């Protein structure tokens, strides 16, 4: 009979708090306060398929582009960080 492995498994989920990582006077907070992309999904709904794997959230994609242009980030990996 095989014995169960006693290895430590990395945590699958973690908590992230914007309050802990982004200062109160940071530009990202201003962008979040003044840029409202709540209805963007309605305008882009015709471009998304309903079958298969879900696509990237359009709100998130546009916000990432805004942040990338403002901070001069060209690398996708650095932008995701």
Domain boundaries, the chain: 24-80
Judge if pTM exceeds 0.75: no
Task: Note the pLDDT tens digit of each residue in 49-80.
Answer: 778 887 778 888 888 888 888 889 888 888 87
Which residue, 36, 25, 24, is CA-closest to 63?
36
Compute φ and ψ for 41, nearest 5 degrees: -65, -35
pLDDT of residue 36: 82
Model confidence over 31-43: pLDDT tens digits? 878 888 878 888 8
Contacts of 68 (CB under 8 A, 6+ apart): 74, 79
pLDDT at 39: 84
**In sequence order, what are the residues at sequence separation of 6 or more whose Cβ sits closer than 8 angstroms to the Cβ of residue 14?**
none
3 pLDDT more than 70:
no
Tens digits of residue pLDDT in 5-37: 666 666 677 777 778 888 888 887 888 788 888
């Amino acid at each position: 009979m095989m014995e169960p492995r006693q290895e430590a498994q990395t945590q699958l989920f973690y908590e992230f708090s914007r309050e802990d990582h982004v200062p109160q006077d940071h530009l990202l907070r201003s962008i979040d306060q003044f840029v409202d992309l709540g209805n963007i999904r309605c305008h882009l709904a015709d471009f998304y398929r309903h079958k298969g794997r879900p696509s990237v959230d359009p709100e998130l994609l546009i916000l990432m582009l805004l942040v990338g242009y403002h901070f001069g980030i060209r690398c996708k990996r650095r932008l995701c960080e």
